[in-house]
Amino acid sequence: MSAPAVTLPPVLEALDRQPRAAAALAAAVPGPVHAYLLVGPAGPAKAAAVAFGAALLCPDGGCGRCRVCQRVLGGNHPDLVLVERVGASINVDQAREITRVAARSPLEGERKVLVLTDFHLVGPAAPALLKTLEEPSPSTILVVTAERITPELVTIASRCVKVEVADPGAAVVDEAFQARMAAWKAVPDRLDGTGAAAIALATELIESLDAAVEPVRARQAEEAQAAAARAKATGERANTKETEERQRREQRRARMDELRAGLVQLSVAYRDRLVAARSASEAEAAARAAATIGEAGRELIRNPNESLMLQVLFLRIGK
């Protein structure tokens, strides 16, 4: 005998392209546990987490019409705390701040929801968050999102209810990503030691960084349209300055993640050359190039001029 269908709260009906995730979250609304892990593409997982948060805080379980739902979806409810990484990964200081926020009492209702994004990049900060997950405040629900479960995330994942978030457009996005990574890996074959080649390649790859951010911009445009519609329906003004700052941070993170991924592929290409080297000089050149690429990756924390950085890098490794 099949299980009865779950009726979706209106705030979760927007997840129409993710029916399994929507059904799982809807089933959790009446009696939530302390922590959930939403695994899937960053944009859809974050949208699902916020919608789930609205359902958890709404007195009617996610009606989509009340002031609580509208404020959560508009990004200005004090009991829905969205935590996004500041740099390349979630660091220990940020993890400690999450622990402090999780221990605070709700400001308006009986519970507080923390949405913690990008936890596939939790790294060494994971142990600092375990106590929060193992001994949560009774009034706090954590909703963690991650693109995948990494080794560092395994222990955290074991403390959460896992929900898979799908994205029908993922195949197209993945195909475009693979094409961009192939372009990075082909760089060694296109370098000839000239400045002209270095500039041309740097320009091409900077344009590919712009392309990588387009899906983020498209999602943000959809969010802005939805927020404008909600504001018109309720008469409430959205916090546009805060939204714009958050969107800029999201675009910057997407750009930096793409650049780091590209440098990894470039390093792999030179390590392949090292393995295939037929002379000591070839092996030395490949090893030196891989080390130089590693140095460039570490310098990204300083927010260098991307185009100039790539031009200098390509000149150095193309000799």
What pLDDT digit, counting tens, does each position of 143-161 carry? Answer: 999 988 888 888 888 889 9
Phi-psi category of residue 12: left, alpha or beta, with phi > 0 → left and psi -120 to 50 → alpha: alpha
What pLDDT digit, counting tens, does each position of 96-111 carry? Answer: 888 888 888 899 888 9
AA letter at 98: I
- % of the chain surpassing 90 pLDDT: 39
What fold, for 10-168? Rossmann fold (3.40.50)
Q: Is the dihedral of CA 27, 29, 32, 34 positive or negative?
A: positive
pTM of the model: 0.62
What pLDDT digit, counting tens, does each position of 211-244 carry? Answer: 888 888 887 887 777 777 766 766 666 667 777 8
* Residue 26 C-alpha from the chain's centroid: 23
pLDDT top residue among 71 and 241 = 71
Sketch the domain layout of the chain as residue ranges: 10-168, 171-317
pLDDT top residue among 167 and 84 = 84
CA distance 172 to 181: 14
CA distance 21 to 17: 9
